[in-house]
C-alpha cells in the first residue's frame, strides 16, 4: 500500500513540476515581450496601420524659349468618402445624406438613382466602411465642384471627404521634341531634359501621417506634423516651338518620301549656341514614324563628305595648299595602296583647282592632298593635332545624358587599327565618327568666325515666372583657327552653293552656305572591292551667308526610295527649313531704306498682274503711281517724269490670251475663268505657254513654263 502511495505522489510531483515549469516559461515570455520586445511589437502593429508617407511634390515645367509649355505636371485627385470619419456626427450625416446622394448620382456616378445612392451610403455607414471610391482621376475643376457637395464641404474629418492629390506629366505638343524633352516615369530611367534636370524639376516631397485601410489604400490622418511638399523649379529652354515644328515637318516629309530608317534635323543659333530645334524621327517596329531615339546626340557615325571642311582647314592652317592650286584628278580616280577610290559624280576632269574640287566634293582630290602633305609618319600626327585643335575630339557637353563620344584615330596607333588607308579615308570622312550635334557645332564655329560656342538647351530656371538662375552662352574656344583659315573655309562653303553640289538649290530670297555629304554605311572592303549596305545623306550649313543667324544640319539614314546623295535627300530638307524660318522670322530679311524701296518699285517696270495687287504694294511703300480706272490687269510702265503708270493689259474673252510675264496666280485665274485647264512646270513668272495667244477657245489644256 505504501509503495502504491509513493508512486502516486511521484506522479503528482512530476505533474506539478511540469505545470510550474510551463507557468514559469509563460511568465518569462510575457515579461520578455512586455519589457524587452514590447516597443518592437507595438511599433510593428502601429506601422501596419499608421505610417509617415511621402506626399508627391508638383514637378517643375519645361518651357520653350517664349515661355510656352513643353512639359507640365497636371494635378488630379483620387476622391473618396469615409462615412465613418472620426469627426462626423449622426446629425450631420442624417441632415446631408439626401442632398449628397442627389449630387453624387446626378454629377458623378449616374449609374445610381439618387435614392439608390442614398441607400448605398447608409448601408456603407452601417457596415463601418471607411473608404468608398468617388472618382479615381478627378481634374482640378471636378475636385473643386465635388468638394463643395453637401457634407463634403465640412472637410475630411467632419464631412468624410478624402482627396489625395497626384500628378500626371503631359507634353502639350505631343511628339514635338519629345526625346529631347524626355520623360520621367516610375520604374524607368528618366531621359532627355527630364533626366538631366531631375533634381531641379523634382522639388522636395512632403510627409503626412496616414492610416492604412487596405493593402494599397492609405488615407491622411489629422496630424499637425505634416510637412508640405515643395514644388520643383521650371526650366526655360532655348527651343523655338515654331522652328521645331518646321524642322520636324520637313524631316517627316523626307522620311516618308525616301522611306528612310531615321532622320535628324538640328537648328542652332550661330552667335550663342542655343539649340532652336532638335528633331529625331525614326521608324518603330510597326513602321510608324516617331521620335524613337535621340540620334542627334546619342548616335555617332562616319560623316562622309561633310568632314572635308575639317581636312581643308587643316591643310590651309598648315600652309600646305592655296585654294587656286591645281590638283590632278584623273577623271575622279585614284588608288591608295591596294584600294581604289572614285568620285561619286562623273565630272570627267583631269585636273582642277583645289577650290573647285571641294565645291564638286571630289573624294580623290581631298584624299590625295591629305596623303601628300601628311603621309609621312611624323606628319600624320600633325593632321590629327589640327583636328583636335578644332575640338572635333570632344563632346559638346549638351544637357542631355548619353552623348556619344567622338572618335578620332591616333596616328599610327595599332589599337586604333591605323593603316596606310587611314589618312586618305579620314580625309573625306571615314574611319572616324561624330554625332550630328558635334559636326554642327564645328560648322557653327566656322559661321561664327572661328569662335566656338557651347551648344546648350536651357537658358534659366524659374519659380512662379521669376528667374532663379540664368545660364548664359558659354565660349568653349575663342578661336579654333586663324582668321585667314576661317575666311577661306567660309569661301569654300559659299562656293558649294554658288558653283558646286548645292548649286541648283540657290534661292533669290536669301543666301546660304554649306556642304553636302553622302557616306557609305555597313560597307566591307576586300580585295580592292567595296560592298555597301546603304547610305547616309547629309547637309550642314548656315544662313544668311553675310551675317549668319542659324546653322542647321540634316542627316537622313538609309534612304531607300529614289536617289541617296546628300544633295538630293538632305539638302532639300535644309532648304525647306530655311525657307520656312525666313517666312516665320521676318527680322532675318535686310532692312531697306526708303530710297531702296522706291528703286525696287521702279524696277517693276514691264511686270504684268492684277492692278489691285500693285496698288496695295505701292501704297504700302508710299510710291506714287497713276492708276488705270478701266483695267483689271495692267502692265507697269513709267512716264517722262518716271512716275509709274498702269497700262491696260488686254485679255481676249473668245480667244486664248497671252499670260507670258504674269505670275502663276494671275495666269491661272485668267485662264481658268475662260474655261481652260492649266498645267504648270517651274516657278516664278510665265515665260512660255503651250497654246499660242489668239487661238479659239475650246476648253483646251494650256501648259505653262515658269522661270
Each residue's pLDDT tens digit, 659-702: 888 888 888 888 888 888 998 877 778 888 888 888 888 888 99
- pLDDT tens, residue by residue, 505-547: 998 889 999 999 999 998 877 666 777 889 999 999 999 999 9
pLDDT for 642: 65
Percent of the chain topping pLDDT 90: 55
Q: How far apart are CA 689 and CA 706, in angstroms?
A: 9
DSSP, collapsed to helix, strand or coil, labels residue 283 as: strand
Of 704, 635, 707, the residue nearest 672 (C-alpha): 704
Q: Based on the number of CB atoms within 10 Å of its own CB, is 354 exposed (0-12), middle (13-18) or buried (19 or more)?
A: buried
Residue 86 has pLDDT above 90, yes or no: no
pLDDT for 647: 78
pLDDT for 509: 84
Task: Look up the pTM and report it.
Answer: 0.73
Residue 596 has pLDDT above 60, yes or no: no
- pLDDT tens, residue by residue, 442-462: 999 999 999 999 999 999 999
Residue 231 has pLDDT above 60, yes or no: yes
Q: How far apart are CA 74 and CA 142, in angstroms?
A: 13
pLDDT for 171: 87
Q: How confident is the model at residue 146 (pLDDT cuts 50, 70, 90)?
A: very high
Strand partners, 328: 351
- Residue 86: other Cβ atoms inside 10 A: 12
pLDDT for 694: 84
CA dihedral 373, 375, 381, 386 (to 10 degrees): 30
Q: Which of 40-54, 338-352, 550-564 has the lowest mean pLDDT?
A: 40-54
The residue that leads in pLDDT, 622 or 667, is: 667
- The domain 594-706 is classified under which CATH number: 3.30.10.20, 3.30.310.10, 3.90.1150.10, 3.30.750.210? 3.30.10.20
Q: How confident is the model at residue 50 (pLDDT cuts 50, 70, 90)?
A: low
Q: How far apart are CA 244 and CA 249, in angstroms?
A: 8
- pLDDT tens, residue by residue, 339-391: 899 998 888 999 999 999 999 999 999 999 999 999 987 899 999 999 999 99
Residue 187 has pLDDT above 80, yes or no: no
Residue 43 has pLDDT above 70, yes or no: no
Q: Which of 218-222, 251-255, 452-456 has the lowest mean pLDDT?
A: 218-222
CATH of domain 54-237: 3.90.1310.10
CATH superfamily of the domain spanning 243-587:
DD-peptidase/beta-lactamase superfamily (3.40.710.10)
- pLDDT tens, residue by residue, 492-501: 999 999 999 9
Residue 38 has pLDDT above 90, yes or no: no
pLDDT for 222: 61
CB of 500 closer than 8 Å to CB of 549: no
pLDDT for 649: 79
- Residue 291: other Cβ atoms inside 10 A: 22
Residue ranges per domain, the chain? 2-51, 54-237, 243-587, 594-706
Same fold: 243-587 with 594-706: no
Q: Where are the alpha helices (DSSP H) in 212-342?
A: 241-258, 295-298, 308-317
Amino acid at each position: 500500500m505504501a509503495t502504491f502511495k509513493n508512486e502516486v505522489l511521484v506522479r503528482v510531483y512530476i505533474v506539478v513540476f511540469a505545470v510550474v515549469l510551463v507557468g514559469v516559461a509563460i511568465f518569462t515570455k510575457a515579461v520578455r515581450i512586455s519589457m524587452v520586445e514590447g516597443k518592437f511589437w507595438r511599433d510593428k502593429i502601429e506601422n501596419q496601420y499608421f505610417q509617415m508617407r511621402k506626399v508627391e511634390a508638383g514637378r517643375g515645367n519645361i518651357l520653350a524659349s517664349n515661355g510656352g509649355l513643353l512639359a507640365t505636371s497636371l494635378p488630379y485627385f483620387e476622391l473618396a468618402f469615409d462615412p465613418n470619419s472620426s469627426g462626423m456626427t449622426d446629425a450631420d450625416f442624417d441632415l446631408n445624406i439626401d442632398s449628397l446622394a442627389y449630387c453624387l448620382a446626378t454629377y458623378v456616378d449616374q449609374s445610381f438613382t439618387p435614392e439608390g445612392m442614398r441607400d448605398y451610403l447608409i448601408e456603407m455607414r452601417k457596415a463601418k466602411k471607411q473608404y468608398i471610391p468617388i472618382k479615381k482621376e478627378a481634374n482640378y475643376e471636378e475636385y473643386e465642384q465635388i468638394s463643395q457637395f453637401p457634407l463634403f464641404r465640412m472637410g475630411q474629418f467632419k464631412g468624410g471627404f478624402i482627396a489625395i492629390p497626384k500628378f500626371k506629366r503631359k507634353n502639350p505638343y505631343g511628339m514635338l521634341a519629345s526625346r529631347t524633352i524626355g520623360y520621367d516615369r516610375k520604374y524607368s530611367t528618366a531621359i532627355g531634359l527630364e533626366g538631366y534636370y531631375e533634381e531641379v524639376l523634382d522639388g522636395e516631397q512632403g510627409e503626412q501621417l496616414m492610416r492604412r485601410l487596405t493593402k494599397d489604400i492609405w488615407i491622411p490622418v489629422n496630424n499637425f506634423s505634416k510637412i508640405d511638399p515643395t514644388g520643383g523649379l521650371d526650366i526655360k529652354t532655348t527651343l523655338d516651338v515654331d522652328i521645331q515644328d518646321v524642322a520636324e515637318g520637313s524631316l517627316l516629309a523626307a522620311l516618308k518620301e525616301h522611306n528612310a530608317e531615321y532622320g535628324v534635323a538640328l537648328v542652332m543659333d550661330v552667335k550663342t549656341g542655343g539649340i532652336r530645334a532638335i528633331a529625331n524621327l525614326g521608324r518603330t517596329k510597326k513602321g510608324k514614324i516617331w521620335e524613337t531615339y535621340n540620334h542627334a546626340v546619342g548616335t555617332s557615325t562616319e560623316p562622309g563628305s561633310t568632314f572635308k571642311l575639317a581636312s581643308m582647314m587643316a591643310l590651309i592652317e598648315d600652309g600646305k595648299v592655296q585654294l587656286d592650286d591645281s590638283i590632278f584628278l584623273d577623271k575622279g580616280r585614284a588608288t591608295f595602296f591596294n584600294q581604289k577610290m572614285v568620285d561619286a559624280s562623273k565630272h570627267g576632269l583631269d585636273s582642277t583647282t583645289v577650290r573647285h574640287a571641294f565645291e564638286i566634293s571630289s573624294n580623290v582630290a581631298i584624299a590625295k592632298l591629305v596623303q601628300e602633305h601628311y603621309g609621312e609618319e611624323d606628319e600624320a600626327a600633325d593632321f590629327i593635332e589640327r583636328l583636335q585643335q578644332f575640338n572635333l575630339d570632344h563632346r559638346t557637353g549638351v544637357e542631355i545624358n548619353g552623348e556619344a563620344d567622338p572618335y578620332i584615330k591616333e596616328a599610327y596607333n595599332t589599337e586604333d587599327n591605323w593603316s596606310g588607308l587611314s589618312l586618305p579615308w579620314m580625309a573625306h570622312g571615314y574611319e572616324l565618327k561624330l554625332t550630328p550635334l558635334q559636326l554642327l557645332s564645328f560648322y557653327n564655329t566656322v559661321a561664327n568666325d572661328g569662335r566656338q560656342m557651347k551648344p546648350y538647351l536651357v537658358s534659366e530656371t524659374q519659380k512662379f515666372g521669376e528667374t532663379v538662375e540664368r545660364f548664359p552662352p558659354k565660349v568653349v574656344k575663342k578661336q579654333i583657327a586663324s582668321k585667314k583659315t576661317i575666311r577661306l573655309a567660309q569661301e569654300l562653303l559659299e562656293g558649294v552653293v554658288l558653283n558646286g553640289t548645292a548649286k541648283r538649290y540657290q534661292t533669290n530670297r536669301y543666301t546660304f552656305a554649306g556642304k553636302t555629304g553622302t557616306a557609305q554605311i555597313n560597307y566591307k572592303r576586300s580585295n580592292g572591292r567595296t560592298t555597301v549596305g546603304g547610305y547616309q545623306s547629309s547637309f550642314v550649313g548656315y544662313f544668311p551667308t553675310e551675317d549668319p543667324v542659324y546653322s542647321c544640319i540634316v542627316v537622313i539614314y538609309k534612304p531607300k526610295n529614289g536617289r541617296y546623295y546628300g544633295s538630293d535627300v538632305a539638302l532639300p530638307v535644309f532648304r525647306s527649313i530655311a525657307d520656312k524660318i525666313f517666312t516665320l522670322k521676318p527680322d532675318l530679311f535686310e532692312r531697306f531704306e526708303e530710297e531702296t524701296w522706291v528703286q525696287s518699285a521702279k524696277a517693276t517696270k514691264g511686270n504684268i498682274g492684277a492692278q489691285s495687287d500693285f496698288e496695295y504694294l505701292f501704297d504700302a511703300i508710299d510710291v506714287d503711281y497713276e492708276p488705270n480706272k478701266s483695267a483689271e490687269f495692267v502692265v507697269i510702265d513709267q512716264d517722262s517724269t518716271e512716275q509709274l503708270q498702269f497700262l491696260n493689259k488686254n485679255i481676249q474673252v473668245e480667244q486664248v490670251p497671252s499670260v507670258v510675264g504674269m505670275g502663276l496666280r494671275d495666269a491661272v485665274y485668267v485662264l481658268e475663268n475662260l474655261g481652260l485647264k492649266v498645267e504648270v512646270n517651274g516657278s516664278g513668272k510665265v515665260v512660255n505657254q503651250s497654246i499660242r495667244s489668239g487661238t479659239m477657245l475650246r476648253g483646251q489644256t494650256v501648259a505653262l513654263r515658269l522661270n
